[in-house]
């Protein structure tokens, strides 16, 4: 393999980028430029395109801070994104090209977060092997609670009691197009009280993203006597239902609202998906586990996969040289 080059993304690449993402085997709608750019005022975009003889073979959604490049900090996952025809040697070459390009442009470190395997449309762990060869350092590991809906799973007795509570309390679930009631009455108060935190997304940002991706972003609220008591914001990709936000009204007696809601989502709304991803139960960069939250998810039948984060010195591109024959050449222009 030879004649690899890397270039920065520019606005004129918009259509080609989105077309490439649509055909990639380890991408979701989060990598569409419209999603990446909803918060462009917060990040200095420095996304990269890897070419082989003028043909796109990989992209890197990224932003730059000083002399360090990050898998885009406005996205949950990232890394090197490539299409289903990519061979292992091609991806190693592409990754070496990225490291050489960054090193030549005085970017000293690459912070890379992978795409969890459940989001791959087919096996896509070539990058993990390239990271091993380049001696990347694992700096964070989150645990995702995931149900494989293609297999039988068991909901615990305690969750079933909660579901029955929801039925007895005559709870009503509605899918909404607006986020304001959930944000203002449930999510923001809970995050402020329990974590002194705010949602990553503002209501205005969610409304905009919903308009851009109406089939991928969905809001489900739970009502008791016409008053909202719980809800969840869902990011839906080809094979995975992901819970972006989960929250309930904490000060009211337990109505079984979340058990009732998630039983409905798992067994009815998203029953045909391959995976149901509750998200992480970690804090402190993966070093601390919220055991109660993890238990709640597991009692629906979820088990654990990991989401890894790496750091690598861009000068380590030389470690990949011995893996290839002398005929391989890379351009760092």
CATH number for the domain spanning 268: value is 3.40.630.30
Q: Please report whether residue 72 resides in a domain.
A: yes
CA–CA distance, 64 with 71 (Å, rounded to integer)? 9
Do 34 and 122 have their domain in common? Answer: yes
Do 136 and 157 have their domain in common? Answer: no
Task: Answer whether 306's CB lies under 8 Å from 142's CB.
Answer: yes
Q: Which residues, listed in sequence order, are joined to residue 217 by a DSSP beta bridge?
A: 235
List all residues 6 or more positions away from 139 whose beta carbon is below 8 Å from its beta carbon: 111, 285, 309, 310, 311
Q: Please report whether residue 293 resides in a domain.
A: no
Do 133 and 155 have their domain in common? Answer: no
DSSP 185: I
Q: Please report whether residue 161 resides in a domain.
A: yes
Parent domain of 11: 4-141+308-323
Q: Please report whether residue 286 resides in a domain.
A: no
- Mean pLDDT for the stretch of residues 160-184: 97
Task: Answer whether 251's CB lies under 8 Å from 206's CB.
Answer: no
Report the share of the chain in percent with pLDDT over 90.
86
Do 110 and 172 have their domain in common? Answer: no
Mean pLDDT for the chain overall? 94
Q: Sorting pLDDT into bands at 50, 70 and 90, what band is 299?
A: very high
Q: Which of 115-124, 156-165, 278-287 has the lowest mean pLDDT?
A: 278-287
- Mean pLDDT for the stretch of residues 55-63: 97
CA–CA distance, 41 with 132 (Å, rounded to integer)? 34
Task: Answer whether 57's CB lies under 8 Å from 85's CB.
Answer: no
Q: Sorting pLDDT into bands at 50, 70 and 90, what band is 327?
A: very low
User: For residue 281, what pLDDT is reported?
Assistant: 92
Do 63 and 13 have their domain in common? Answer: yes
Number of domains in the chain: 2
pTM, to two decimals: 0.93
- Kindly give the pairing relationship between strand 240-248 and strand 275-280: parallel
Do 88 and 181 have their domain in common? Answer: no
- Mean pLDDT for the stretch of residues 305-322: 95
Q: Cβ atoms within 10 A of the Cβ of 68, count? A: 15
245 by DSSP, 3-state: which?
A: strand
The alpha carbon of 294 is separated from its chain's Cα centroid by a whole number of angstroms, namely 18
User: For residue 331, what pLDDT is reported?
Assistant: 55
CA–CA distance, 91 with 72 (Å, rounded to integer)? 19
Output the DSSP codes for 98-123: HHHHHHHTT--EEEEEPPPGGG-SS-
- Mean pLDDT for the stretch of residues 180-195: 91
């Amino acid at each position: 393999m030879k004649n690899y080059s890397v270039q920065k993304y520019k606005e004129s690449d918009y259509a080609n980028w989105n077309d490439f993402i649509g055909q990639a085997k380890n991408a979701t709608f989060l990598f569409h430029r419209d999603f990446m750019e909803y918060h462009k005022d917060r990040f200095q975009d420095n996304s990269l395109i890897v070419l082989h003889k003028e043909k796109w073979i990989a992209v890197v959604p990224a932003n730059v801070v000083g002399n360090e490049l990050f898998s885009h900090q406005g996205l949950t996952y990232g890394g090197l994104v490539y299409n289903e025809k990519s061979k292992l040697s091609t991806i190693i070459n592409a990754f070496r090209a990225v490291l050489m390009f960054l090193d030549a442009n005085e970017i000293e470190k690459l912070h890379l977060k992978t795409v969890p395997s459940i989001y791959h449309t087919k096996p896509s762990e070539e990058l993990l092997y390239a990271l091993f060869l380049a001696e990347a350092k694992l700096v964070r590991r989150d645990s995702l609670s995931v149900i494989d809906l293609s297999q039988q799973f068991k909901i615990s007795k305690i969750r079933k009691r909660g579901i029955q509570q929801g039925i007895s309390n005559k709870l009503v679930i509605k899918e909404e197009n607006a986020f304001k009631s959930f944000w203002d009455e449930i999510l923001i108060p809970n995050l402020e009280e329990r974590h002194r935190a705010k949602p990553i997304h503002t209501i205005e940002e969610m409304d905009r993203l919903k308009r851009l991706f109406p089939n991928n972003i969905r809001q489900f609220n739970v009502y008791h006597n016409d008053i909202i008591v719980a809800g969840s914001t869902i990011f839906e990709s080809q094979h995975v239902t992901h819970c972006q936000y989960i929250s309930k009204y904490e000060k009211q007696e337990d109505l079984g609202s979340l058990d009732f809601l998630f039983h409905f989502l798992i067994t009815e709304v998203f029953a045909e998906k391959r995976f149901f991803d509750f998200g992480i139960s970690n804090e402190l960069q993966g070093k601390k586990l919220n055991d109660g939250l993890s238990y709640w998810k597991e009692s629906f039948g979820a088990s654990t996969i990991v989401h890894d984060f790496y750091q690598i010195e861009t000068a380590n591109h030389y470690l990949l040289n011995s893996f290839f024959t002398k005929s391989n050449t890379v351009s760092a222009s």
